[in-house]
Amino acid sequence: MTPVQQTYPAVPAAPAGVPAARGRALTKVYGRGDTRVTALDAVDVEFRRGEFTAIMGPSGSGKSTLMHCMAGLDSLTSGQAWIGDAELSALDDTGLTRLRRDRVGFVFQAFNLLPTLTALENITLPMDIAGRAPDRAWLDEVVDAVGLRPRLGHRPTELSGGQQQRVACARALAGRPEVVFADEPTGNLDSRSGGSVLSFLRSSVREMGQTVVMVTHDPVAAAYADRVLFLADGRIVDEMTSPTAERVLDRMKAFDSAGRVVEVG
C-alpha cells in the first residue's frame, strides 16, 4: 500500500505592504558585570520585500547577532522583531519552529547539506520534514534559475563547493519563504563560485521577487546587493544604496582596527 503523505499548507504570508522583516529597538546583551557585551544597541531596521540587503561591519560589530535575532535563532534582551506580520517574542517554541520552517530560508557559510541525500532530496528536505508538498512549478523555476538541473541526482561529495552552495540556496528558496537570511554564503568559495552563488541570490530577488538579507565581509559580495547596511558597535551607522565594491571598500576603511567609526571628510 502506498503511504499517504499528509500535507500542511504553509503559514499564510503577511499581507501586501508589510515589510518582509523588521526590527524595533533590537537590543542584545551578552554576559553580565565585567563580561557584559552589548552586541545590539537599540537597532531599528526594515527589510523591504523584493530587496537584497547586505550587512557589513568590522568583526564583532553585531552582524551575526542581528541576523540571528531577526531570524528567530537567538532571543532578544529587549525590542521586537517581525517576520512579515508575526512578532517573534509572541511565539512559543513550536510557533517559532514553524515560522522558521515555513517563512524563513537559511544559507550558511558551511553548506550544511546531508551527504547521503541527492541534490534534489536536499532541496526538498525541509518541505518533506514539514509534510508539505513542494509547489512543482516554483521548484522547477528555482532549479533552473540556479542551473542545477543536470546535477539533481548527485550527492554533495560529487558536487563542487559552488554547486553545493547553490543547492543550499535552492533549498532556502524552495519553500518560497518571506525572507532568506544568508550568513557569509561565499565565505568558503573561490571568487568564481562565489560569483555564481551571488548572481543566483540577486536573480532570486530581481526576477523571482524574493527578499534576501546577507551578512558578508566581502565588498565585492556586498556590491551584488541593492543596499548595504553598515554596523559598528552594535548600531547601524550608515546605509548605501546601489553599492559598488569600491565605494563599499572606501566606507569600510573608515572603520578603525578596533571597529569604531572614524569620521571621514
The residues that touch ligand ATP, with contacts defined as CB under 6 A, are 30-31, 37, 39, 57, 59-65
- Nearest approach, Cβ of 64 to ligand ATP (angstroms)? 3
CA dihedral 220, 225, 228, 232 (to 10 degrees): -60
Are the C-beta atoms of 99 and 72 separated by less than 8 Å?
Answer: yes
The residue among 60 and 147 lying less far from ligand ATP, judged by its C-beta, is 60
The residue among 68 and 132 lying less far from ligand ATP, judged by its C-beta, is 68
The residue among 142 and 212 lying less far from ligand ATP, judged by its C-beta, is 212
- Nearest approach, Cβ of 62 to ligand ATP (angstroms)? 4
| H-run or E-run covering 253 | helix 245-253
- Nearest approach, Cβ of 217 to ligand ATP (angstroms)? 6
The residue among 31 and 153 lying less far from ligand ATP, judged by its C-beta, is 31
Are the C-beta atoms of 80 and 155 separated by less than 8 Å?
Answer: no
Interatomic CA distance for residues 22 and 17, integer angstroms: 13
Helices (H) and strands (E) in the chain, counts: 8, 10
- Nearest approach, Cβ of 31 to ligand ATP (angstroms)? 5
The residue among 62 and 177 lying less far from ligand ATP, judged by its C-beta, is 62
Pairing of strands 21-30, 104-107: unpaired
Closest CA to 211 of 80, 72, 18: 18
Q: Which three cell numbers stand for residue 127?
A: 518541505
Interatomic CA distance for residues 46 and 53, integer angstroms: 10
The residue among 63 and 166 lying less far from ligand ATP, judged by its C-beta, is 63
- Nearest approach, Cβ of 215 to ligand ATP (angstroms)? 7
Rg of the chain on CA atoms, in Å: 19
Q: Which three cell numbers stand for residue 66?
A: 542581528
